[in-house]
Structure 1
């Protein structure tokens, strides 16, 4: 018995030293990165955390987090900047599985977009790079701050089961210096995506969903820009199902919420819920749902090759400026809609067409 007691006492007395060793091991499991060469070394290593400090990405190169080991946490802790070149980008790639990506205190991605901005966006003029390409699974992105994207900020493509939370996209300088096509979040071919609690200042869509399933955009604030859109047609996949847009605010945007399907396109939009949306001083249209969309603008009669089915509009409220339209619906082959809205102020009257039988929508 005495031998056993001595063993227990020895084990208990050693426990602080063991804990100290474990703490040292935990501390040693993080690596700091200050350049692209160190990032490549960190991806080959076994550290559980990669701390990205002040880092300059040379012109025409990408800050590439592809091939980071599953289970890694990536923390941005400094100022990330990029050299100037006319190219498509992206400037940053976030790609992998089971990753946690975080923004630390004081960090920023500064795209310095004014070097590219010329008022034409990605349509013409200078060739402008996308900011982030995201292809993640079972991962989270939280607390990032982005300023002055040259063009589209987040291209979210082929993602599955991810959350993006508490992101700040600040492209306000683009209002004065020719920013255009500075989309906040573009989502395509992705499933089980949540984007929440984020703020977007920009000069194009706050959110644009081109395809995917089970996508939720909630408690976000869109300021300036073109508001929130489900835009389907013209891609290799043209289906958007089970989309929830909830608890968002659109402030001084061109549009509130839009569903737009391509003229003569083929696909489906099914199960969209637009709930508890506040509009304030929207300029052109509060709710716009059209089936004759082209990039150059709506044209002709709506076509029904991409029907909008099982749509719910609930408690969409607020105001449109006098020269705008409160609500415009111009579709074909729509069915099974539910609608409750209170949008006022717009005095421009546009004809509505294709509203499902038995549903009353206060067009105009």
Structure 2
């Protein structure tokens, strides 16, 4: 009996040492060169770690990283280059659960240069993230992205940290090129990231519990919430926080909160905190809230539609150019309410002449 007990105890210790799921752990797979796109599509199901090393992605090609194994890691190594196709699709398409995407040492995702940014490609994106859950992205260095650096749709619980999206080759003229465009997503944190020379820095079309913090937005259209009410369905945007961020050289406005005239839905619980606005000689205004974003006649009072409530501004300061508006607010009657603004001081421009239906305690 003593021998049997000793044997059972030994077996128990061995079982404890076997990693759970070891038989299905997959393997590390390295992909590179001009044929990497084709090879990764055939092999990704058997790989738990996918290393993308010095890959070349031709115009119109998509690196298909959808439906990755749960818990997979995607590692970028060296320079991955991609070409530009007018109106083309996505360069990287990623979906899955518990996916970890990061840079190994120094890595660069390099686009074809200024022409792609100036020429267009509105419908394309570098990273198309859809149905991505409980995942993380860190340390990526992107130069000359197409229309969207990151296009997020139906994403939940995503952390993006220390990412750079640089469209500087286009001289800040990247038509339709946004750093991060977010829709139908929740619990997204973008921290310590930089967007330069894109059309927009961050655009939240719809979603909830989204944060952009410790960021830099330079030479673009700043940060946009909305426009809500654009489609026939109700648009919901709630619990959005932008904090500890510098917005410089905005061409339209540093901060925009927008809805289309007569649309349906709500923008609720949006906070801008510790924001520095540096006009830097650009033409953009400071803070713009517009409930008739789609109207060609910006002198008309917006009709009732989307409500914007609990809009909080805390310590939002800085300067804009002489021809810009410091603050511009155009609301439908009673549609903007329960706002809380403290420590808001934007100077250098003028007073907007079209401010209408301002909520209590807020001035242009």
1:71 offset after TM fit, Å?
0.5
TM-score (norm. length: structure 2): 0.85
Shift of 1:360: 3.7
Corresponding position of 2:41: 40
Find the counterpart in structure 2 of residue 114 from structure 1: 114
1:194 aligns to what SS in structure 2?
strand
Q: How far apart in 2 are the matches of 1:307 and 1:83? A: 42
Deviates more, 1:258-267 or 1:279-288: 279-288
Query: Take 2:183 and 2:345, find their aligned partners in 1: how far apart are those partners?
Result: 31
**Which residue is 1:148 aligned to?**
144
Q: Which position in structure 2 is the counterpart of 1:129? A: 124
Indicate the SS of the match to 1:325: coil
1:15 matched residue in structure 2 = none
Q: Distance in 2 between matches of 1:306 and 1:106?
A: 45
Q: Residues 207 and 131 from structure 1, CA distance in 2 versus in 1: closer, same or farther, beyond 3 angstroms?
A: same
Structure 2 Cα separation of the partners of residues 316 and 118 of structure 1:
32
Deviation at 1:335, TM superposition (A): 1.1
| Corresponding residue of 2:306 | 306
How far 1:36 moved relative to its partner? Answer: 1.8
Alpha-carbon separation, structure 2, partners of 1:334 and 1:113: 43
TM-score normalised by the chain length of structure 1: 0.85
1:173-188 aligned within 5 A? 173-175=169-171, 178-188=173-183
Task: Deviation per CA, 1:203-232: give whole Å up to 9, x if none.
Answer: 311011010011111111000101011012
Task: Output one character per residue of 1:258-278: Cα deviation in whole Å (capped at 9) or x when no partner.
Answer: 101112211110111111101
2:318 paired residue number: 318
> Once the 2 structures are TM-superposed, how far is the Cα of residue 301 of structure 1 from its aligned partner?
1.9
Q: Write the deviation string for residues 163-218 of structure 1: whole angstroms up to 9, x where unpaired.
A: 11111001011117x52111111100001111111000023110110100111111
Pair 1:31-2:25 in alignment = no
Q: Structure 2: 5+ residue runs without aligned partners?
A: 8-16, 18-22
Q: Greater share of strand residues, 1 or 2?
A: 2
Shift of 1:121: 6.1
Separation in 2, partners of 1:205, 1:94: 22
Distance 2:295 2:248 in 1: 23
Number of aligned pairs?
A: 345
**Equivalent residue number for residue 13 of structure 1:** none
- How many Å separate the matches in 1 of 2:219 and 2:75? 29
1:343 pairs with 2:346:
yes
Deviation at 1:350, TM superposition (A): 2.4
Cα distance 1:297–1:161, how it changes in 2: closer, same or farther (>3 A)?
farther
Provide the secondary structure at the position in 2 that maps to 1:215: strand
Show the counterpart of 1:271: 269
Q: Does 1:256 align with 2:267?
A: no
